[in-house]
Chains A and B, each alone.
Chain A
Amino acid sequence: METLYSITVGTLTACSVFLILRGRSFPIVIGLTMLSYAVNLFLFSTGRLVINQLPLVGMSEASSDPLPQALVLTAIVIGFAMTAYAIILAVRVRGEIGSDEVNDYNYAEQEGQR
């Protein structure tokens, strides 16, 4: 289970890093979303992976750690809100600047001609 889990987190992170390094805002936002999934999965695993155990000491053979679950919940809420904000911002930038290139070096020259 640990191997499968770490491969999943690793693949998600690798894909997200690739996407974040693109030059347009849409892939970047998708990349950030994927990165937050990867991070949430990773945080969840920091309490060690156990199945079918209660988060209470002494009630079952090996208790599962409740704290990472609380942390993940916080991280999900913040990550979700921030993704929504980033999407709106990207759309706004696309509308106002007329391009979704994040680093459009020709922008300064074009400005004078409009």
Chain B
Amino acid sequence: MLANHLVILPILVPLMAALLQLLPWGENPQYYRRIIGIVASSVTLILAILLVISVQDQILVYALGSWQAPYGIVLVADKLSALMVALTAVLALPVLIFACHGEDNLGSHFQALYQFQVVGIMGAFLTGDLFNLFVFFEILLISSYALLMHGGGKLKLRATLHYVVLNLTGSAIFLISLGVLYGITGTLNMADMADKVAALQGDDAAIARAGGMLLFVVFALKAALLPLYFWLPQAYANTTGTVAALFAIMTKVGIYAIVRVFTLIFGADGGESANLIQDWLWWLGLFTILLGSAGVLGSRDLRLVVAYLVLVSVGTMLTTLSLGHTDAISAMLFYLVHSTLVAGALFLLADLIAEQRGKTASRIVKGRKMAQHNLLGAMFFLAAITVIGIPPLSGFLSKLFILEAARTGAQVLLLWPLILGATFLMMIALSRAGSRMFWHTFDGKPNETAHPMWQHAAVMMLLVGAVALTVFANSVSQYTDAIATQLATPAEYISAVLQTGGSNE
């Protein structure tokens, strides 16, 4: 029974947990809510690993209510979805452990909102239906609106207002593009739509391309690509560390959606709409790297630095994706796993540093010594060399894969200097931040605020994930190779959905 319903369980478990957490739990509700949250996240992690194992040789299709595709809504778990689900689960558990030591008390219902957010993210990764993707996007956005304000304060409110208005507009554009695509193809199932779009001719194909470009705008807004990234630094830098760490996976939802839709529907087999966004991705991605690294260098706050690092990683991934061949997609996915883990760790770390420094918080200025100075310093060093890409950790490997994937002259000419230059700027910015915060301290007594072991352990778990990515780089890159091969042959996905859909009695 478990095997049949494995695809939907990563959505159901957090949903059930969130509903349970909303019950009135008597005098000391937070205690029970934390237990429910941790148990649910651990179970989700186990389920995600099971999912990864079971998609090795097949694409799992789950027809909700046994309504056959393309008429019903299907959940589809192929290798890419399984990887993203596993990554979300791996990120969510340490971040939740971190949050359970005080940060969840800053506002009400943090725990339930957190689980709802996970529901939305998991759903977006697993669904095989475009309108369903919209609904899951809304679920994750609605909880993110509330989470972004967690803790309150003027700066958070302002950043949230920008974020909400932008995303509401984005949702409207999403609906318009769905309307356009439904009007022209008569279906919302992604696999079925891929078939229909490939067969379109002339004016109909032009309308489908317009719909596809609108979808690209929406996903680029979520992924924070160049003209649409301005919400990200403020939003990520002003919110609490745990929320920002969980949001490390949010830009990846946008990237996942771009990969899914623009390899499956508007990919190489897309007929007149084939390879719709390649050129756009290439140039916008390059400029995102450029502006992101300028932002990294120009920020005077550690949180802002990390937010811009997220931006650089988005640019790097989308540029690599635009190269299009399987090696590039494989390198992109490897980098995606690496950057999610390390961005999560850095956001949590910035939070610890800010709290231990007291008044100067995360601003990159001379300040008092921290209570757990050496421990934090060591973790910051580890995270920094990982994110910059200095050997031997995963940052170095993933950048190496990306540089290897760019082969022809024009690609090397533009991509190599930008990625290496961005790496250099990141190195300057992070070494400046590290030396100001850890070495240029005032003499005298260190601050007294210290953090419990579990919060350090949570950061360590994410960093160990990055180390493990280096140690098991071979098997991980084999897996990402397999994903890239699967993405390059969308016919496999299409036939799995349209033929075996609904065989889950």
Chain A interface (Cβ within 8 Å of chain B)? 20, 25, 28, 32, 35-36, 38-39, 42-43, 45-48, 67-68, 71, 74-75, 78-79, 81-82, 85-86, 89-90, 92-93, 96-97, 102
Contacts and interface: CB of A to CB of B under 8 A. Distances in A.
A25 B165 CA distance: 9
Given A43-B179, A71-B131, A102-B165, A35 B172 contact: yes
13 contacts: A35-B172, A42-B175, A46-B179, A68-B182, A75-B175, A78-B135, A78-B138, A81-B142, A89-B164, A93-B157, A96-B157, A97-B154, A97-B157
B325 interface: no
B168 interface: yes
Q: Mostly helix, strand, loop or mixed at chain A's interface?
A: helix
B394 interface: no
Nearest to B165: A28
A20 B172 CA distance: 12
B175 A39 contact: yes
A12 to B, nearest CB: 11
B175 A32 contact: no
Contact of B176 (A42, A74, A81, A96): A42
B259 interface: no
A3 B154 CA distance: 47
Given A25-B161, A32-B169, A102-B162, 15 more contacts: A32-B168, A35-B172, A39-B175, A45-B183, A46-B180, A46-B183, A67-B188, A68-B182, A71-B178, A81-B142, A89-B161, A93-B158, A93-B161, A96-B154, A102-B165
Interface in B200-256: none
A87 to B, nearest CB: 11
B175 A102 contact: no
Contacts of B168: 32, 82, 86
A81 B145 CA distance: 13
B41 interface: no
Contacts of B162: 102
A97 B165 CA distance: 17
Contacts of A36: 172
A112 to B, nearest CB: 14
B171 interface: yes
State which size class the interface on B falls in.
Answer: 20 to 34
Given A32-B168, A78-B171, A89-B164, A39 B158 contact: no
A55 B216 CA distance: 32
A74 B132 CA distance: 10
Contact of B178 (A32, A43, A92, A96): A43
A6 to B, nearest CB: 12
B171 A20 contact: no
A92 B135 contact: no
Interface string B136-161: 00100010010000000010011011
A102 B161 contact: yes
B444 to A, nearest CB: 28
B169 A20 contact: yes
Contacts of A48: 183
Contacts of B182: 46, 67-68, 71
A43 B150 CA distance: 34
Contacts of A28: 165
A85 B164 contact: yes
A32 B165 contact: yes
Contacts of B145: 85, 89
Contacts of B165: 20, 28, 32, 86, 102
B176 A89 contact: no
Nearest to B153: A96
Contacts of B154: 96-97
